[in-house]
Structures are given as structure tokens and as C-alpha cells.
Structure 1
Amino acid sequence: MTVKAGGEEPYARGPAPEGDEAARFSAMLEDNVVDLYENAPCGYLSTLMDGQIAKVNATLLGWLGYRREELVGRKRFADLLTVGGRLYHETHFAPLLGMQGEIGGIALELRAADGTRLPVLVTSTVKTGDDGRPLLIRTTLFDARDRRAYETELLRTRREAEEARLEADRARLAAEEAHQVVEAERARLHRLATTLQRTLLPPSLTAPTGLEVAAYYHIASADEVGGDFYDLFPLDGGTWGLFLGDVCGKGAAAAAVTSLVRYTLRAAAVYDPAPAAVLANLNTVLTREYHGTDPRFCTVLFGLLTPDTEDPRGGFRLTLASGGHPPAILLGADGSARYLPTPDGQLIGVIPDAHIATTTVCLRPGDTVLLHTDGLTEARTLPLGGPVGDGDGRYGDDALLALATSLAPTTAPAAVTALQELLDTLGAGVDDDTALLALSVPHPTPETEQ
């Protein structure tokens, strides 16, 4: 069953319930919709066409410290903005919304009840009636405090490190002391970059019942934050979402985009978990947030795991959508290995209507699926004396598939360990970060068969 949040009509796949069962189903469905709206990870509000607030969810109320009755019917959306945000809303945001009917990814600042400021990313859509007349405005707000704090602190630390280096050049008589200052600043930058990198990755992964999971992140440079990311998280109805991808570039800019991408993927999966729909939502956010002379894009695989209840042996159906990302590898229980084709999937964040390719596979006991970023296949092997690659100086896709074939059948932890050892062997030839995520269906044990 799939439920749409935000006031949309719920729908179900399969035959509709009847009688008393239909009544219980409807009550449960309504509770789910209300809970999804009220406790979504982002703020929601609906306003009349004059901006008066008609509906607001608990998430946004918690951010701002207001009671519902203080806002609904009493304030307009513009009243929640700072002075500068209100001016921008009146001169740019509202006119563009009126002309286009939708505007998103706009950075604004809200003023909370206690006077503090809350940076947010705002998306608004005008909803119309059957006659085409505008009825109300629905607005989604994403909390941008972490992203702004990371950017500000990282840029500030970089400036301090650079100033320390310039001062060391000018104070040649104190070369040793200057060197110590520089190294101390570099160590602090390293710690900050490492801390920021950890915030862009899940602290740990919880495996769904009936699956093994393993992940690994290989840092190519300790001085710069990379743009690779992955995650695995539960959704409604026993399904799980997963993703792995790579943002272009490094440093603070890439970290900001990575944070936005991870947040958007998780949030989008709550509303419509269909993999192609999730990546389409992300593409819309990136193309609107980053455009013009500073485009930002990523490659990404998004998957939806669903227990296969029709197979008595157990297993899962995995649907993968690709936005220009290297394909996943299926290591079969029969000892085979093959890429899961997602041809012609386009980069996410480059063009408004990117093509998104999908594929579906059934994971049976003994099967393992491996997702990876291109830091591994793009690694240099010659003249480093490392593992033999595809003959062009890179490790390459063919060499990776050959290694996967030699490992199959295997488990997620064993596959990730083998690739971790490979990355260590390649050493300095790996000049880009690499993320690995593997899932496997274990063979049933006597205990699980009972």
C-alpha cells in the first residue's frame, strides 16, 4: 500500500477492502495520512491566496515555537519572515509564484516566536480548482540550519588557515613557530573536515529483517570533504529505501549539495517511494537550487526493497532507479556476477526533465547486490604496480566484474571487506572518494526455518 501525504488523496494497489474491513482500513489510512503530514521531517503550511495561514503541521510549529491557534487565521506567511525575507517575498517570490504557479528551492529566513532566525529552503505551489481558479498555496519548508553552519564554519576555518600561512611567510624570523601554527590549523581543519564528512553519512546501518548489510567509505584526501554518500532507512509497510551516489566536486560546496541531496532523498521517499519519482523530485530541487554559472549535479542510485511474500524461501524485490550512476552488481548464489542494467539514466541536476532508468531484480537466499561509486573503477593501477585493470591505466568496470565473479557466492560483509582490501592495495592510485554499500539475503538456518 502507498499513501500520499500533504492532503493528497490516498490510494491503494490491489483490490479495495469491503464491509467492516473497509471501515477499519479507512480509519487506519486516515490516521497514517495525518501522522505523515503532522510529523513529516519538513515543515508544511497552506495559505489562502492573500497569504493568510489556513493549515500548518506540527513540525513547523515546533521549529518556530508557536501554538497552532496563534498562526491559523491570524497571521500570513510573510509575517513569519525576517524583514529582509519579507521584502524578498513581496518583490520576487510572490510575483514569480503568481506567474509560474510553482517556485521552489528558495533560501529564506523565518523568525521564531522567541526572535531567533531559522534558515529554510522554501517550495510553494498554487493549487487550483476544477475551473482553473487558484484556491490556496501549499508551501514546504526544509530546515537549512545544519547546512549553513557547516558551510560557515568550514569557510571560516579555511580563511584562518590561509591567514596563518601568509603570516608565517611574512614572519620568516619565527619560521619554526609559524610552522607549528600552520600545522595546528591544518590539523583543526582536518578534524573539522572529518567531522563534517561523518555528518554526511549515517552513523550506522540497521539491516532489514532477513537481510545482511555492509558499507564502507574510503577517503581519498583527509584535507577535503568528498561528495560521496549512501543511506539505508525504513519506510511504511515493511519496505526500505536505500541510496548511494556521488556529488560533483569537493570541499564546502560539495558538502552543502550532499547534505541537501541526502535530506531531499529521504523526504521525497516519504511522500512517494517509487524510485523514479524520488529521483525526479531530487532533480527538480537541484535544477532550481543550483543553476546558471554554478550548476551542481550528482549521480545516484535509489532503491526500494520490498519483502517477497510469494516466495516461501524468503527474499526481496529490489527496484533500482539510476540517475547517471554506475550500475549495481548482482553476485548470485549460483556463483555468477552481472551488472544490473540501468541504461541511459542521466545526471541528476543538469536538465529539468532528466531521463531516469529503472530495473527490478529478485534477491534470493545466497544473492548479494553491491553498489559503488566510481572512485574505485577510476582508480589508477599503472605504474603503481597494483592489481591489473582494464589495460588503460584504470582499474575499470571489467576488472571489477571479474573480481565480483571470483567472490560469488558471498555475503555483504565479505564483499565489502574484499573491496576494502582492494582499495588499500591501490593506495595512492585512488584519488577520489569511494563509497560501497552491499546487501545480501542469507541462507536460512534451522532456527529461521522453524
Structure 2
Amino acid sequence: MTDPGAYPAGHAEEFFDRAPCGLLTATWDRRIIAVNRTLVDWMGSAPDDLVGRTFTELFSVGGRIHYETHFAPLLKINGRISELAVDLVAPDGTRLPVLVSANLDGSVDDSQPLIRMALHDARGRRSYERELREERRRAEAGWARAEELAATLQRSLLPPSVSAPAGVDAAAHYHAAADDVTGDFYDLYPLAADLYGFFMGDVVDKGASAAMLTSSTRYTLRAAAVVDDDPGLVLHTLNTVLLQQAIDEGFVLTTVIVGTLQLTDEGVEVRLASGGHPPALLMHADGRVSEVDTRGGQAVGITANASFVETRFVLGPGDTLLLYTDGLTEARTGRGPSRFDDDGGLLRFVGEHAPASAHEIIAALTDLLSRLGAYVEDDVALLAFGVPALRR
């Protein structure tokens, strides 16, 4: 600690008067008994104009209320306060934001301690805080616009409604779990008077690149099905397109189920081919549920010699086919690592609702996703279609 005798006479008084912050001493009843030149200059007053006044008179109305209701009690209890933000108001109405720190000095009279107060010019800090708030406002507005754009873009990648042939019940649902654009997609659309095409897929990507890949994939699937409705050939066409696209844009990958619905006297004949997508579930009219065996199909876009699995079957009255993306099966069931389909949860859930129409099973799964809430960490696409049960 420096020896006070090392300073010239009057140094303490000069430091008080010329300190880079406003300084004052007041009695407990707020009456100013000493004030430094810095504070006098800030207020545009003479020292005699301030001595004898209460220091709260220098504050804005809001500052006075805040001091009396919050900070004066704290000062009395703790003996000090730090960085109270108030505005000083000069006689001409000019406002100066300051940060006030104070402590109690009971060395003169413990029953009436002195208040020693330092007031720091906060104009730079206030300006910085305003800039931060404005930047945050702009950032939040930007995030909101980005989220709106992502939602709009995501909706544009999905059909406004599925178009089912007469006599077929069809329903779909898209559950958005993330703010970013993801690559889940589906469609059900006419190819001829009695022939309809459908597909369900999931691009392994997110954001703008996922949107571009999803758009080109949907276009390719529809166009290829118009040229040749064979589901296996449609997948091979998509595979060729994605491999060519990968040359220009890098590795691309998607899982897809593609197929057709053909109206027959027995019901609806389904032909489908799978490229690495989770197996569709067939809900039978008698309440049984089974997976459509498409094991062995490879994801699309990996290799030129891709192997896809094809099958066909007939949906009779009361039968319903369900397609989904893996956001459903990989949804967590709670805070732990357990996933919804770790032990066959999806097959069991669908079995509890079978038999069911397309609208009924989509409604049940939509409710499930709502109940799982934030535990659904990836987007989910659902598509179901079937033949209504015969009326008895």
C-alpha cells in the first residue's frame, strides 16, 4: 500500500474533485454535503446549486422510484450497492445515463451514516447495449424469416393433397420436427384412368441441398413412371440420375419405395420396389399386421449396380397399406436412449389399431407424434391407402 505521505498536499482533495467519475457524499436523508467538479460539470450547475439538495432530485422520475423502492433498502441491509442504472437529468432537460455504486460510512455517526456515491458515465455502454438489442432484433427477424422460408420450401416439396383412385381410401401426414428443410417426401398421383403411382422417400441431407435433391428426385420419379410404370425400372432410372448428379454436386443418397396401384375386380393390385427404405406395413382386414418383405434393397445413389427388391400383392376390402419414414421409428420415447421401434414398437402400435382405414391409422399416428413431442427429432412422412371394408 502506498504511503499517503508520498502524495503532495491536497492530492486527495484534487483527486476527489477531478476524478473521471461523478462523486458525492450525502447524509442518510439523501442531502448532498460534498460533490466533485466532474458531477457539477455533467449537471451544468455550480457546486452551491447541488450541495443541500437530495441526490435523488438529480435522477429521472423512474430512477427515483427504483432507488427508493429497491436500492435504498438493499443499501441499508448490505451497506453497499453496485451499478444501479439511472439517468441524471440536467436543468435543461438533458439526460445522462450513469451507473451508480454506493456504500455506507458509519464512522461519523452510526445512527446517521454517510452515503458515499460514485456515478460512472454509461453513455458508451448504453449505446453498445442498444446496438446489441438492435442486432438481436435483426437476428431474430432473420431467424423468423429463415424459418418461414424453410417451412414454405418444405410445403412446396409435398403435394397439397394425395390423389387416390375411386374406391380407394388414402391419407397422408407430414410432421415437421426441425426448423430446417429436410428430405422426407411422398406422393400419390394418377398415371392412367385405372392406374396410380405412389412413392415415399427420405433424402440423407438437410437444408437447401436437401430441398434441391428432393425436388429433383420427385420430378424424376414422376417422369420415369410416365415413361414406364414398372417400379423397379423407375428406381433404376432414379439411381442413374442421382449418380450423374453426384458427379457435379458430390455424394447424394436417398431411400425410396415406389409403386403403382391398379384397380382390379378383386381390389387393388399393388406393385412396389424398395431401395433401402423401411418396409411398408400391411394391415389386413382380419386384424393381422405384417411387414411387406423388401429386405435386401439398396439405397438409391450408391452404386451403378444397385439391387432393388420388387413385390406385388392385392389389397382387398378392409386392407390398408402404411408407408413411413424413419423419423417415426427412430423417435425417442423419453429422456433415455430408447427408440420407439427398438423392440417392434411400430408393428405393435399398428397392430393395436388394426383393422383400420387409411384415415384412421394416419390419425392414430399423428396423435402419437403429438404425444411424443420433442422426442421426435427427425421429420416424419406418413402415407396410407386401402380398400374400404365391405358394409354388413
- 2:137 aligns with 180
Q: Deviations over 1:5-60 (max 9, x none)?
A: xxxxxxxxxxxxxxxxxxxxxxxxxxxxxxxxxxxxxxxxxxxxxxxxxxxxxxxx
Match of 2:283 among 315, 326, 331: 331
1:201 counterpart letter in structure 2? L
**2:250 paired with 1:250:** no
| Correspondence 1:43-62 to 2 at 5 A | none
CA distance in 2, matches of 1:298, 1:371: 15
- 1:260 aligns with 216
Q: Deviations over 1:397-422 (max 9, x none)?
A: 61100011111110001100111111
Q: Name the SS for the 1:376 alignment partner.
A: helix
Deviation (angstroms), 1:359: 1.3
Structure 2: give runs of 5+ residues left out of the alignment.
1-126
Q: Does the 8 Å contact 1:372/1:434 carry over to 2?
A: yes
Q: Does the 8 Å contact 2:169/2:387 carry over to 1?
A: yes
Match of 1:226 among 171, 179, 182: 182
CA distance in 1, matches of 2:218, 2:129: 46
CA RMSD of aligned residues (A): 1.7
Query: Would you say how many aligned residue pairs link Structure 1 and Structure 2?
Result: 265
**2:260 paired with 1:304:** yes
Q: Does the 8 Å contact 1:333/1:409 carry over to 2?
A: yes
Deviation (angstroms), 1:291: 3.6
- 1:163 aligns with none
CA distance in 2, matches of 1:178, 1:301: 46
- 2:359 aligns with 413
TM-score normalised by length of structure 2: 0.65
**2:387 paired with 1:441:** yes
Q: Deviations over 1:278-301 (max 9, x none)?
A: 000000000111148820110000
2:196 counterpart letter in structure 1? W
Q: Name the SS for the 2:381 alignment partner.
A: strand
CA distance in 2, matches of 1:345, 1:327: 10
Match of 2:241 among 280, 285, 291: 285
Deviation (angstroms), 1:382: 3.2
TM-score normalised by length of structure 1: 0.57
Pair member with larger Rg: 2
- 2:370 aligns with 424
1:177 counterpart letter in structure 2? E
Deviation (angstroms), 1:276: 0.2
Question: Which aligned runs of 4 or more in structure 1 are off by greater than 4 angstroms?
Answer: 170-173
- 1:241 aligns with 197
1:409 counterpart letter in structure 2? P
- 1:401 aligns with 347
Q: Does the 8 Å contact 2:231/2:273 carry over to 1?
A: yes
CA distance in 1, matches of 2:239, 2:129: 51
**2:302 paired with 1:350:** yes
Structure 1: give runs of 5+ residues left out of the alignment.
1-169, 385-391
Q: Does the 8 Å contact 1:171/1:178 carry over to 2?
A: no
Deviation (angstroms), 1:308: 1.6
Q: Does the 8 Å contact 2:159/2:187 carry over to 1?
A: yes
> Per the alignment, do residues 253 and 409 of structure 1 end up closer, same or farther by CA in structure 2, a change over 3 Å counting?
same
Match of 1:213 among 135, 146, 170: 170
2:159 counterpart letter in structure 1? P
Q: Which structure is higher in strand share?
A: 2
> Per the alignment, do residues 332 and 181 of structure 1 end up closer, same or farther by CA in structure 2, a change over 3 Å counting?
same
